[in-house]
Amino acid sequence: MTLQHVDILFKLIVFLFAISFHESAHAWMANRCGDPTARMLGRISLNPIKHIDPLGTILLPLVAMFTHIPVLGWAKPTPVDPRNFRRPVLDDILTSVVGPISNFIVASGAVLILAAISFTSQIGHGIVQNMPWAYLTNNLDVLAAQTNSVLMPISLLAYELMVINIVLGVFNLIPVPPLDGSHVLRHLLPEPIRRVYDTMGWFALLALVYFGGNFLGRLIFPVLGLFNSLLMRM
């Protein structure tokens, strides 16, 4: 088994953790804002079974993993009843944006793990410095051939934790219903336009996923590049 095959398993593990953390953050914030619906349904949980959506959590990520494109997807939407919010507009926005924020927090934590690995030894430093190049050029096995250190798979797992959380964080901020970013934009729209916006959201989302590769790349890669630049300075 090569490191490329191990990486597929790492992607699956990290993706399930990332969406579980993301949806738990939504449920936690909704509960803090006065709506206990998601909490009562057990959605404040890192158990991925609580959050699985057949299309967004299983099919789409598997296609992405085996075609070597960024892992995109979504979980089962966290149930929220805005009527329970104390400040309906502000609390809806807070409940929505906390999901992507949680992904960026996890990505930042992964950077700290990689920084610790980089400072452990010269081998660890070399692995972390070369990981962005090996990952983006699909040369993980070339990098792995240079060392049999246990730091290699640990670094790859941490790097996947960073990358996938960045991808999910940026993707969910796009203002296309039902993505989280739409909960900010929709409150700025007149009611007739808002109804059309909400209704057409799923069609726009599917079009974005299947035909918006270049557009998504322009959004995701600058943020990934920023995190990679932090690693390269270690």
What's 188's DSSP letter? G
Please state the domain count of the chain: 1
113 is in which domain, residue-wise? 3-232
**Predicted structure pTM score:** 0.91
Residue 143 has pLDDT above 90, yes or no: no
pLDDT, tens digit, 9 for 90 and up, residues 90-138: 999 999 999 999 999 999 999 999 999 999 889 999 999 999 999 988 8
Neighbours of 220 (CB within 10 A): 19
Residue 39 has pLDDT above 70, yes or no: yes
List, for residues 191-218, the tens digit of each pLDDT value. 888 888 888 777 777 777 677 778 888 9
**In angstroms, what CA-CA distances link 60 with 65, 69, 113, 167?**
9, 11, 28, 14
